[in-house]
Structure 1
């Protein structure tokens, strides 16, 4: 294992000098100071902007970087580490990022400890970009940006064996057919309703009641060819510039379908009324982007897969809320998103893909 600092205050000018010199970004110059400031609201990690001062003028070395560290809270860090979240994110950047034209942050350093409880990513500073908010919902131009990027990812790994032979990409259909997730949903759905049920319609709750004991059908019924999906492709894991969108937080890369990320984004990151108005046009746009990137499926198949994948967000919302510490903003986000995802399933008649 390469030694690396595990929190921002441990990142020394000497360590960063050695790193940048090894990459050919510094010659005789050295880093003389590094200051940091926290950004974002990440639960599983700590994100900081690192402002860097050099001993001389340099045009090749970055004036600032974003550092992503493991969570400071010991319990959260242990949970994320044991789930493989830190290892998965580092592995994605090291092994898969170069194989897709999807816009991703440039990585200057990536490392994870042998016990997978500590990690560090040093990335290009995109703190001037705006992160999305799932409490609000995204605009149509931002939705198109997001779907353009999702199409690039889906097309890059469609039918590729590379995603099937790794130890960091989740493949629930192969591992247990979704049985473990279903068992957790059966246990935690009633607890979720105790916290969030008052904000749901009777129809939404009925859909959840029907879906939960059939989650394994959804997982195991997804047909090959598969592709790689981000699987938490929501606007708060995106950074929007004026002309581009950058996807971050790669802690749950999974084997899924080419419409998984698309359906999840439209279901949870777009206001329900906007989704209803835009989704036919946006799925047609997404279909064109898939074809542009070399993935040729029919428009009809694209729409049917979108309908089916509307159910992807349910387990993420239900278990995500139950396994995280309650806080006001987090609870608002889970409440908002589960309403949207369940309504998407109802609007698209997703029960058609399940059976008694």
Structure 2
């Protein structure tokens, strides 16, 4: 059993007693009598979908179904190691330290806990409430993309030029993302990845992995000199949700950091649209983002310079084209790989990065 000041690390430790204690701040006086686990989605961050019952009296507005997210797989904790924070640790730190200051729609969280090697979030079970989730194989309509870009503009504009010294976890750039890119672009990974029969086949102009990693490194050096705002860090369409009325918001806040707005904006926009729609709509949608960024407290960026920043950040999405099927389905990799690869070619990104 976990102690009163430690987090559960196994499903067996998710007890009514622990939940009652953990949720006292958000649900004062709540006493849980039972947790019925309905489904477990194992992964780096495991999601436990559960029905809960209360001892009388049940607080008004208390949830009947929860999503409990954490590193409940010992292998996931071991893979991160003791020196780095887990994804759910980062999410918990985000919800406890920054989320309430941003003015953006977020999933309701009932609890967020973090300790070395482990994080836990207790959230609404959004699927049970009729919410939908972004699917990489299903491009979005332009109006929904515009709504999501407004959320990113709010995030970036409200944090522009600010530093949060009390949030020691909020770094400049994401070490985890950079390590992942280095691995996915390595000779060893490419040799194994592109010998498989069902992988996305890159256009010939993008088959030099060493040139791509030079592009990433050039981008990171640029971004570290222009870390003007807080970004989501992994704002692809698969990390989105939308309510029953179709209004979107971003989920999976495991990678926020100080960086360049361009890490989020083209990564989301390109991945959310078909190649044809992106080519037809991206200038108007990008102009919408720039307008909303200024509205939400950011600067009025020079349109031509910002467009070049948009173009150079296309390389960020190329990781999708090299993902193994152990991490994403073949259908997702093909859909997203094609969108990002074609955007790289359309915008001559590597030449702009000087590699």
Q: TM-score range by the shorter chain?
A: 0.7 to 0.9
Structure 1 residues 62 and 179: alpha-carbon distance in aligned structure 2, compared to 1, 3 A threshold: closer
**1:286 counterpart (289, 292, 297):** 289
Which 4+ runs in 1 deviate beyond 6 A? none
**Is residue 62 of structure 1 aligned with residue 63 of structure 2?**
yes
**Paired residues of 1:88 and 1:168 also in contact (CA < 8 A):** no
**Is residue 100 of structure 1 aligned with residue 99 of structure 2?**
no
Unaligned runs of 5+ in 2: none
Structure 1 residues 180 and 251: alpha-carbon distance in aligned structure 2, compared to 1, 3 A threshold: closer
Q: Distance in 1 between matches of 2:105 and 2:316?
A: 23
Out of 128-137 and 4-13, give the one that drifted further.
4-13
Deviation at 1:220, TM superposition (A): 0.5
Deviation at 1:240, TM superposition (A): 0.8
Structure 1 residues 165 and 12: alpha-carbon distance in aligned structure 2, compared to 1, 3 A threshold: closer
**Paired residues of 1:139 and 1:270 also in contact (CA < 8 A):** yes
Deviation at 1:263, TM superposition (A): 0.6
**1:303 counterpart (296, 299, 307):** 307
Deviation at 1:238, TM superposition (A): 1.0
**2:240 counterpart (230, 238, 241):** 238
Q: Which residue of 2 aligns with 1:339?
A: 338
Q: Which residue of 1 aligns with 2:215?
A: 214
Equivalent residues in 2 for 1:112-261, closer than 5 Å:
112-114=114-116, 116=117, 118-127=118-127, 128-162=130-164, 166-167=168-169, 169=171, 171=173, 182=182, 185-187=185-187, 188-195=189-196, 199-205=201-207, 210-222=211-223, 223-241=225-243, 242-261=245-264
Deviations 1:189-224 (A, max 9, x none): 444433476622223435x55322332112102342
**Paired residues of 1:112 and 1:119 also in contact (CA < 8 A):** yes
**Is residue 43 of structure 1 aligned with residue 43 of structure 2?**
yes
Deviation at 1:121, TM superposition (A): 0.5
Q: Which residue of 2 aligns with 1:353?
A: 352
Deviation at 1:326, TM superposition (A): 2.6
Q: Distance in 1 between matches of 2:109 and 2:289?
A: 28
Which structure carries more helix by proportion? 1
TM (norm. structure 1) is 0.83
Q: Distance in 1 between matches of 2:242 and 2:70?
A: 22
TM (norm. structure 2) is 0.84
Out of 218-227 and 121-130, give the one that drifted further.
218-227
Q: Distance in 2 between matches of 1:281 and 1:113?
A: 44
Deviation at 1:92, TM superposition (A): 1.4
Deviations 1:102-161 (A, max 9, x none): 2112222111233x1x32101233222101111222222321222111111111222222
What SS does the corresponding residue of 2:38 show, helix, strand or coil?
strand
**Paired residues of 2:230 and 2:259 also in contact (CA < 8 A):** yes
Q: Which residue of 2 aligns with 1:314?
A: 318
What SS does the corresponding residue of 1:326 show, helix, strand or coil?
coil
What SS does the corresponding residue of 1:38 show, helix, strand or coil?
strand
Deviations 1:15-74 (A, max 9, x none): 323344x327344x63222222227x67311213332222235314223322112142x3
Deviation at 1:257, TM superposition (A): 1.0
Q: Distance in 2 between matches of 1:214 and 1:342?
A: 14
Structure 1 residues 255 and 24: alpha-carbon distance in aligned structure 2, compared to 1, 3 A threshold: closer
Out of 244-253 and 208-217, give the one that drifted further.
208-217
**Is residue 268 of structure 1 aligned with residue 271 of structure 2?**
yes
Q: Distance in 2 between matches of 1:61 and 1:183?
A: 44
Deviation at 1:90, TM superposition (A): 1.6
Unaligned runs of 5+ in 1: none
**Paired residues of 2:318 and 2:340 also in contact (CA < 8 A):** yes
- Count residues with an aligned counterpart: 340
Q: Distance in 2 between matches of 1:197 and 1:205?
A: 13
Q: Distance in 2 between matches of 1:86 and 1:279?
A: 33
